[in-house]
Structure 1
Amino acid sequence: MAKIYLILTDRKYVLVAKGGKSGNPPEERRGYHLPGGKFENRDKNSFGTVIRELEEETGIKLENHQPWGNEITHKKAVGAKFVIVETENVPALVEGFNNLDVSKRPKITNKYDEPFTELVSLPLENCWKDKNFNSDYLTDYFGYGLEEAMKVLG
Structure 2
Amino acid sequence: MRTRPMWWPMAAFGLVVAVVVGWALWPEDEPEPRQRDYRAETACLLTGAGGVDAPETRPVWTGMQEASLATLVKVQFLEVDGPQTGENAETFLASLVQSRCGVILAVGEAPVRAVRPTAARFPSAKFVAFGAATPGPNVVVEQATDPESVHRKAVEVVSALASGRD
Structure 1-normalised TM-score? Answer: 0.26
More helix by share: 2
Structure 2-normalised TM-score? Answer: 0.24
More strand by share: 1
Q: Which has the larger radius of gyration?
A: 2
Structure with greater contact order relative to length (CA < 8 Å, sep ≥ 6): 1
